Chain A
Amino acid sequence: MQRISRREMLAQLGMGLGAATVLPLASPVRARAQAAAAESFVSLTASEGETLRAIVARLIPADENGPGALEARADRYIDRGLAGALKSSRSAYASGLAAVNAQAQSSKGAAFAKLSPADQDAVLTNIQQTSPPFFNLVRTHTIQGTFSDPFYGGNANFIGWDLIGYPGARTVVSPNLQLMDKKPEPSRKSAYDYGMFSKGEI
C-alpha cells in the first residue's frame, strides 16, 4: 500500500490547516463538523457541550489514523443519551465538566475548550488521575459514541467501524465474509436500516 503523509491524510479528511491543501471532495466532512458545532444540544448547556466536544476530540483525536470521536459525533451521542438511556449520568456530567473547566482555569488560565491540544492533554491526564470515575465515564461513553450502531447518534459515517475494520451490521453473512485473507466489504448499514427490528431507547 502506498504510504501517505500525515498532512495529506488530514487534507483528505478535510481537516487540513491551509485552504490550499483541502481537497474539494473532502469538504463535506469539514462542513458537517462546523455545522455540528453550531447545532444546539438536547441535554447539555452550550458551555458544557463545548467542553465535552473538546474532551472527546482529545480522547480519540483526528490524526494520521483518520477521523476521531468528534467527527464520529460521540459528543452528540452522549448529549442525546443524557436525556434518555444515560440520564442517570446527567448530574455526573454537570459536576465533572465543571471540574474539568475549573482545572483548566487554575492550571492553564483558560476554559478547557480554549486551550491548545497539548494543554488539554495535560488537564485530561490530571483529571484521569484525580477524578477517575468521571474520566472513565466520559471515556466509556466516548467509546460507545464512536463504535456503537449509528442509530444512537454517534459513529457518524461509520467512522468508528472503519477505524477498527468492523464491516458493519448485517442480517446475513456469506462464507466469503469469514475468510482470513479477504477483508469483507463494509455493509454501511445500521441494524435498524433493515426494517426488521423494534428500536430501543436512545
Chain B
Amino acid sequence: MATTLKKTNVVIVGLGAAGGVACLPLAQAGIDVIGLDAGPRLSTRDMAPDELRLSRNAWPPGPQKTDNEAPTFRPNASAKAIQGNHPMMNAVGGTSIHYWAQSWRLNPWDFKVRSETIRRYGASRIPKGSTIEDWPFDYNELEQYYDKVEYAIGVSGKAGNINGKIDDHGNIFEGPRKREYPMPPLRSTGFTEKMTAAARMLGWHPFAGPAGVASKSYEGRAGCAYHGYCSGGGCHVNAKSSTAVSTIPKAEKTGHFTVVAEARVTTIEVDNNGRVTGVTYVKGNQEYFQPTDVVLVAGYVYENARLLLLSKSKAYPNGLSNNHGQVGRHYFSHNQGDGVSALFPFSLNNWYGLPAQGVAVDNWADDNFDHSGLDFIGGGNMWVYTERRPIASVNGLAAWMQGKPTWGSAWKAFVKENADRTNTAYLQKTTLPYEDNYLDLDPDVKDPFGLPVIRITGEYKDNEKKVALFMHEKMEQWYKAAGAVTIQRQPIVNAMGPTTHAYGGTRMGANPDTNVVNGWGFSHEAPNLGILGASVMGTSGARNPTLTLQAIAWRTAEYLAKNWKSVAT
C-alpha cells in the first residue's frame, strides 16, 4: 500500500540534463518543486581517474535503474528484437555527469528542415517516408533560452556570430547570438592545432567547439584540469557543468526545491477528467504516492515514452497522452556511427584532455553547403578531440592489425609503436524521423518489477547512409591533410540500437494528430503534464542534443511559472 505524501506544486521525474535545469526557473519563481531521481547523489570522491573502474558495472555506484531496463531493438517490424545495453546512467544530475559535455546550439536550419528544403530544392527532396515537420518555433525564439542555460550551467566557447557580426574564430555557420559565451573555449593541444592547420589548408573553417565544462573558475567551481577520464566518468573538480553541480544546487538554495534520490517512478496517476494527479514511486522497499499540481516527465527518451505507455488509465487506455497514438512515434537516433579513424606516422600525445577539448568543422553540416547537385539533404559536423586511455589504446589497435598476431612479441612491438598514433573522428550526421521507425513496449522482455521495457524498431534509411558516405570522404581528406598515412572507414550501419543521442517519441508540435506535446512542451491531452528532454525534438541537427534539450526544458519551465494558473489549475 502506497504512502500518500503531502501535495506539492510540481514533480519532476528525472533529474538529469533536462529536469536538472527545469527545476531552477520554477524554484526561483517560488513554486515548490520535488525532483525524483532513480539514482544516487554522487560526490567528487566517486570520480577517480581509473579506466578499469569506469569500464566496470560497479560504476557509477548506487542503484542503476538503467541496468534493468535496457531497450530491445530490431531493424523492422518483422525482425525479432534483442536486448542491448542502456547507454545512460542514473544519479542526481543523470547522464550530464558522465557526458562528453559538448554544448551546441542547433543551427537555424534544423528548426525548419522541411520548409527550407522545399523552398531551396523542391518538395521532391524530402526523403520518402519521412515524417519530418518544422519545429513549432524557430532558432530566434530559442536563442534567449540557449543563452540562459549557457550562463546557468557554464559553457565555454567562442561565438562565431554575435548579432550578425561574423567572427571566424568561432563557428561562422551558427545562428546569431546576443552575446559571447560566459567563458573562453577549452585550450588547444599540439594535436588539435595540427588538425586546425590542416582544415585551414583545405579552405575550411575550423574552430574550438562549445563545451559544458568550465575553462576557468566559474561560480565557485574550478576550471578544467584536462586530466582525462571525462567521457563516461565524472569530474573530480566539478569543472564539468553537469546539472548536479550547477542548476540543481542553485535551485536547492531557493528553499523551493527538494531532491529525492533513489526514487524510482512507476506510474503517473490521472483522474477521470484526464488531468494528472501525481506519481507513484518506489524508494527502498516502500511505495509512495506524491500528489502534485503538475508533473514534468524528464527521463531519457526511452523512459519518457515508456512511462507514458505504462501509465494506463480509464482516460488514457493506451497510455498517458496517447489517445492520438503518437507516443513512441517519430523516434530516431542520431547517426553517430560510421566513424573514420586515422593512423599517423608519429605520436600525437593525446593521452590527456577530454572529448570536449577538440576542433570542429561545420562546413559540411546541415544546409551549410549547396545540395542542388547531391542526392541527400543535411550533412555532418566533424569533430576531432583529445583523451586516450591505456587499455583502450591497446585494444583499439586491433582494427589496425587485422591478419597480424594478437599477442606475443610482434604484437607487443606494434602496440608500443602505435598506441599513441591513432585517432577516431566523431561525425554527427543529420538523421530524420520516418513512418516505420518507432518505440513501443516490448511484448516479452520485462524489468524486475514485471514492467515491459521499451522496444526500438528502427533503421537508418538512404538519406542517412548517403550523408555518412559523404562525411567519410570529407574526414579522410582532413586526416590526410594533417599527415595521416592510413585511414579506416567504419562500415555504414543499418541498425538503430540504443544510443545516447535518441530523439522523439513525444514530439513537440502544434498538430495533436502528429505530436504529443504542444509548442510549449505540455501534453495536447493532459494539460498539466509537461515533457522535457530530447523526446520532444523533431530533428537532430548534426550535433549533440544536450544544450538544445536544456534550452527547451528551461523554456517549458519558465512558461509554466508565468502561466501557472492556466496550466496547473
Contact B50 A170 (CB under 8 A): no
B409: contacting residue among A65, A85, A179, CB under 8 A:
A65
A15→B190 CA distance, assembly (Å): 38
- Which one of A16-24, A28-36, A54-62, A99-107 is at the interface? A54-62
Whole-angstrom distance between the Cβ of A10 and the nearest chain B Cβ: 12
Q: Mark B383-394, 1 if CB is under 8 A from A, else 0.
A: 000101011011
Contact present for A172 and B407 (CB under 8 Å): no
Quick one: which of B56, B351, B406, B419 contacts A167, CB cutoff 8 A? B351
Of all chain B residues, which has the CB nearest A164? Answer: B419
A180 interfacial by beta-carbon distance below 8 Å: yes
Interface contact B226-A173, CB-CB below 8 Å: yes
Known contacts being A164-B394, A165-B420, A197-B45, is A173 close to B352, with CB within 8 Å? yes
Contacts A165-B347, A198-B48; A180 near B190 (Cβ below 8 A):
yes
**Does residue A48 face the partner (Cβ distance < 8 Å to B)?**
no
Please state if A151 and B352 are interface contacts (CB–CB under 8 Å): no
Q: State whether the Cβ of A68 lies closer than 8 Å to any Cβ in chain B.
A: yes
Within 8 A of A (CB), among B377-403: 386, 388, 390-391, 393-395
Interchain CB contact under 8 A, A85 and B56? yes
Asked if A98 CB lies within 8 Å of chain B CBs, one says no
Q: How many angstroms from the CA of A149 to the CA of B228 in the assembled complex?
A: 14
Asked if B46 contacts A147 (CB within 8 A), the reply is no
Are B352 and A164 neighbours in the complex by a CB distance under 8 Å? no
Within 8 Å CB of A163, what residues of B? 412, 415-416
Contacts of B236 in A (CB 8 A): 171, 196-197
Which of A64, A139, A196 lies in contact with B407, CB distance below 8 A?
A139
Residues of B close to A175: CB separation below 8 A? 187
Closest CB-CB distance, B461 to chain A, in whole Å?
Answer: 35
Interface size on A, residues (CB 8 A): 50
Query: B118 on the interface (CB 8 Å rule)?
Result: no
Query: Is there contact, CB below 8 Å, between A170 and B352?
Result: yes
Whether, in the assembled complex, B44 has its beta carbon less than 8 Å from a beta carbon of chain A, the answer is: yes
Q: Is A8 an interface residue (CB 8 A)?
A: no
CB within 8 Å of B: which residues of A? Answer: 58-61, 63-66, 68, 85, 121, 124, 128, 139, 143-144, 147-149, 151-152, 160-161, 163-167, 169-173, 175, 177-184, 191-192, 196-201
Apart from the given pairs A148-B52, A178-B226, 15 other A-B contacts in the complex at a CB distance below 8 Å: A59-B407, A60-B411, A66-B416, A85-B56, A148-B390, A149-B50, A152-B52, A164-B390, A164-B416, A165-B416, A166-B351, A171-B225, A173-B353, A180-B349, A197-B46
16 contacts between A and B (CB under 8 A): A59-B407, A61-B412, A68-B412, A85-B58, A121-B408, A143-B394, A171-B237, A173-B225, A177-B352, A178-B349, A183-B349, A197-B47, A197-B50, A200-B48, A200-B50, A201-B58
